[in-house]
Structure 1
Amino acid sequence: MNFKQQILGSIFATLMLVGCGSTVSNTRLSDKFDVDAQLDYCAKQSSNALKLIPKDGSIPRSIASNNEQWKFVDYKDWTSGFWPGELWYLYESTGDHKWEVAADKFTNYLAALAVTPAVDHDLGFQVFNSFGNGYRLTNNPEYKEVILKTANNLAKLFNPKVGTILSWPRNVPNMEWPQHNTIMDNMINLELLFWASKNGGDKSLYDMAVSHATVTMKNHFRPDYTSYHVVVYDKETGEKIKGVTHQGYSDSSMWARGQSWAIYGYTMVYRETKDPKFLDFAHKVTRVYLDRLPKDLIPYWDFDDPAIPHAPRDASAAAVVASALLELSTYTKDSALSKEYFDKAEGMLKELSDNYQSKTKNTALLLHSTGHKPANSEIDYSIIYADYYYVEALLRYKKLKEGEQPLLTYKFN
C-alpha cells in the first residue's frame, strides 16, 4: 500500500469511528477491484447507447439476450427514470458537461408526471431518480418544483385506513381489486416523500412514508424475514387479507429483487428517520439474503425456484443489494459486520464486472437480469434498472475507498 492509500485509509477509518461509533479496518480499501476502470466502461457504453436513441422522447429500457437493439419506452413507463438517473451518475463521476446536457434532456421528458394523476406507485423510480439526482447535482429550481409536485401526486395514493400507499390503482390479477394492494417495490419510492417533506413539502409526507414502512414491516415479512411481493389489505378496515407474489416463483418463495428492495428500502428509511427499529430490520432482511446467496454472490431470480442451478440469474437484484450494503455498512456499529457488508458488496461488484458486463454484445452495462419470469417477460435481458444501480454502487464504492461517505455529492460549476 502506497503513502496516499495509507492516508485515505486512515481518513475512512476515522470517519467511520466518528460517524457510526465503530472502528473499521482500512484493509477493506483493497486494490483488488479497479472501480475507475469500471466507471470508464460505463461511460463508454452509455456514450455508445446515446447514439442509438431516437430523438422522439424514447427512453431505453431493455435488450434481449443475443441482441443489440434496445426496447424503447416513453416517460409513462415505470422504468423511465433509470436512464436519465444513470446519466446524472456519470456526470457525478466525471464532471463532464456532456453528461449534464444529456441527463437534462432525458430528465425533462418526464416532467409531465408531476401534473398527471398517478397511475401507480412508481413515481419515485421515475422522478426521484431523474429530477432528484439532477437537483442534487445542480440545484436547478425547476427540478425541485417537479419533485415537490410529484411527491404530492404520489401522496394521493396513500390510504390512511391501511397506512400504506396503494401500488396498483387498477385491476391486477389476484389483487382482489378494488381492495388495497401494496408491493415491496414501493419501499424505494418512499425516498421521494422523505425528501420532499424536508425540502419545502408538507410534513405529512414524512408521516406517510414512516407509516408505510412501519405497516409494511409488520405485514410484508415471514418469520424468517423473507418478504412477500404483495400484500392485499381491506381498503376500509386496513386488515391484511393475504400475502402473495406477482413476479416471484410462489407465494411462499423469496423473490430476489423483492428482497433487494427490502434491503435497500429499510436502509434508506433508517437514513431518513434515524429510528433504530428500521436499522435493526434492515440487518434482518439482509441476513437472510446473504446467507442464501450462491458462492458467486449473484442470486438466481428467485431463491426457491426448484430449477436452480439451471434457473436464470438476476444481475439487477445483485446491483441493488451491492449499493444498499455499501450504505448499510456505514450505519453498522459492529465492525466485523460492517466489514462483511462492504466485502460482500465489493465481491458482488467484482463478479458483475468480471462476468456480467455487456461489453461488445450490446450498449447496455450488464447482462443476465430477470424482469418478470412468470409472465415470460425480459428473462436473461439487459435491463436499465440493473445498469442504474450498478453505476450507483460503483460510485458509492469509490467514495468509500476515498474516505468519504457514500452519499456525498459533487457539484460542478
Structure 2
Amino acid sequence: MKNPIKITGICFAILFISASCFAQKLYFEKEVKQAMAQTELMLKEISNTDNKNGALVSPRTIENGKLKLVPSKDWTSGFFAGELWYLFELTKDEKWRQEAIKFTDPIEKEKFNGTTHDMGFKVYCSFGNAYRLTKNQHDKQVIIKAAQTLSTRFNPKVGAIRSWDHNSDKWDFPVIIDNMLNLELLFEATKLSGDSSFYNIAVAHANTTLKNHFRKDFSTWHVVDYNSETGEVEHKQTKQGFSDSSAWARGQAWALYGYTMCYRETKDPKYLSQAQNVAKFILNNKNMPSDLIPYWDFDAPNIPNEPRDASAAAVISSALLELSTYTKTPNNYLDKAQKILKNLSRNYASKIGENKGFILDHSTGSKPDSSEVNVPLSYADYYYLEALTRANRLKNNQAVIQ
C-alpha cells in the first residue's frame, strides 16, 4: 500500500502551485483592467482639453488640478503612445492599436528635430513599439531617420551625444545619465538599416558614460560637462537630485536600465557587470524603503519624510525583469521586480476614475525646481506597463524582449 501521507503531501503541493498560479493570473488581470480603465478615462479627458489647434499631442502630468498636454517636441511626448501599444500587446484588442496609431503619428516630425537628445524617449517609445508589433515599413523608416538626426549630436572628441543645448553659460557639452535610454534607438537603427555607425556611436557613448559618470559605489552623477574641443571633463553635478554628491533615484534607474539594455545589444560583459553593480547599489541602499519604491533621492535630507518616486520604481522594475534573464541567479532580481510591481499596483496606483486617467500616482519630476512633485507622470505609467508586459512574457515562458 502506498504511503497516504506522502500522497497527500504531493497533492497539497500540486494544489498549492496551481492556486498560486491562479492567484498570479487573477492579480495580473486586475492590474491590466485597472490600466485599461484609467486609459479609457485619459482618452476622454484628452478629448475634453483645450488643445490649441491640435498642437498638443500627449498627456504629461496634472498641473493645478488640470490635465497637462504637451507638444511633440516635449521629451515626454512619446510615452502615452507607447502605453497604448503596450495595452494592444497585452490585450490584442484592436481598439488599442487604433488609438496607438492616432497618438503615434503626430510625433513623426520629431525625426527631424536635431535640437534634442531625447529622440529615443520620443520616437522609440512610440514608433519603436509600433514597428515591433506591426512591422510597418513606414515606422521603420521613421526610426532610421530619427537615428540619423540624433547622430548629429555626437561629438567624437568627447565620445558622447550632447544632451542639452540650453544654459550655455553653465555648461559647454553636458551629458546626462538619462541619455543612456536614447541609445536603444541607435542600436535598433543599425539592425534595421545595416548602418553600423549608429551602433558605434551608441557604444562610444555608453563607454564614455561608464568611465566618467559613476562614483566608486556605482551611484551616478546626473550631469557630466565636457570640454567640447578637448573632450576633458570640466565638472560633474546632480541637477535634479538633492546635491552634487547625492544619488538621485531616477538617475540610478536610468543607469540600471541603460546598461542592461546595452548588454542585450552588445553582449559586452562590462555592461552586464555595470548593470549588476548599479542594481546592488539600488537594492542594498540603506535608504531604500522596504516596499522598494525609492524616495526621490537616496540621500534626501528628511527621509522618511520625503516624496517617493514611482517613476523611478517602474523603471527599476522593468530593468530588473530584463536583467534577471542574463544572470545565473535570476530570482535575485525577479523577486525584487515583482515586489516593486505589486507595491506599485497596490499602494501607488490611482483609484479608478481619478487623476484624469493616469495609472500611477506619487512620482517626482524635479524636486529642486519644485516641479512635478508627488504627482502622476506619463513616463511612470509607460515603464509600469512595460514592466507588466515583460512580467507577463516571463510568466508565459517567453523572451522578456520581443
Q: TM-score w.r.t. structure 2 length?
A: 0.91
1:321 aligns to what?
A: 316
1:355 aligns to what?
A: 347
Equivalence map 1:63-212=2 (5 Å): 63-64=62-63, 67=65, 69-116=66-113, 118-171=114-167, 174-175=170-171, 179-200=172-193, 202-212=195-205
Distance of 1:301 and 1:170 partners within structure 2: 24
Distance of 2:21 and 2:331 partners within structure 1: 7
2:10 aligns to what?
A: none
Equivalence map 1:286-365=2 (5 Å): 286-292=279-285, 293-333=288-328, 335=329, 338-359=330-351, 360-362=353-355, 363-365=357-359
2:212 aligns to what?
A: 219
Distance of 1:340 and 1:392 partners within structure 2: 20
8 Å contact kept, 1:28–1:339: no
Offset, 1:202: 1.9
Letter in 1 for 2:391: Y
| CA deviation string 1:344-372 (max 9, x = no partner) | 00110011011001113321000100001
Distance of 1:154 and 1:5 partners within structure 2: 49
Q: Tell me whether 1:46 sits opposite 2:45 in the alignment.
A: no
Letter in 1 for 2:132: R
**Structure 2 residue aligned with 1:243, among 236, 239, 258?**
236
Distance of 2:273 and 2:358 partners within structure 1: 36
| CA deviation string 1:290-342 (max 9, x = no partner) | 11121110000000011111111000000000000000000012x2xx21200
Letter in 2 for 1:231: V
* Structure-2 change in CA distance of 1:74 and 1:5 (3 Å): farther
* Structure-2 change in CA distance of 1:51 and 1:36 (3 Å): same
Distance of 1:3 and 1:403 partners within structure 2: 21
2:381 aligns to what?
A: 387
Letter in 1 for 2:377: I
Distance of 1:113 and 1:241 partners within structure 2: 31
Identity of aligned residues (%): 51
8 Å contact kept, 1:62–1:71: yes
1:257 counterpart SS class: helix
Structure possessing the higher radius of gyration over alpha carbons: 2
Flag as ranges the 4+ runs of structure 1 deviating above 6 A.
Answer: 3-6, 27-30
* Structure-2 change in CA distance of 1:44 and 1:57 (3 Å): farther
Distance of 1:173 and 1:252 partners within structure 2: 22
**Structure 2 residue aligned with 1:255, among 248, 253, 256?**
248
8 Å contact kept, 1:88–1:100: yes
1:241 counterpart SS class: strand
* Structure-2 change in CA distance of 1:173 and 1:81 (3 Å): farther
| CA deviation string 1:32-88 (max 9, x = no partner) | 9811210111111101111111472431000248x4x31111111100000000000
* Structure-2 change in CA distance of 1:354 and 1:4 (3 Å): closer
Distance of 1:139 and 1:57 partners within structure 2: 28
Q: Which structure has greater helix proportion?
A: 2
Which of structures 1 and 2 has the larger relative contact order (alpha carbons within 8 angstroms, sep 6+)?
1
Query: How many residue pairs were aligned?
Result: 379
2:370 aligns to what?
A: 376
Q: TM-score w.r.t. structure 1 length?
A: 0.88
Offset, 1:243: 1.1
Distance of 1:223 and 1:29 partners within structure 2: 44
Give unpaired runs (5+ residues) of structure 1. Answer: 7-26, 409-413
Computed over aligned residues only, the root mean square deviation of the Cα atoms, in angstroms, reads: 1.9
Distance of 2:60 and 2:69 partners within structure 1: 6
Distance of 1:169 and 1:194 partners within structure 2: 24
Offset, 1:115: 2.3
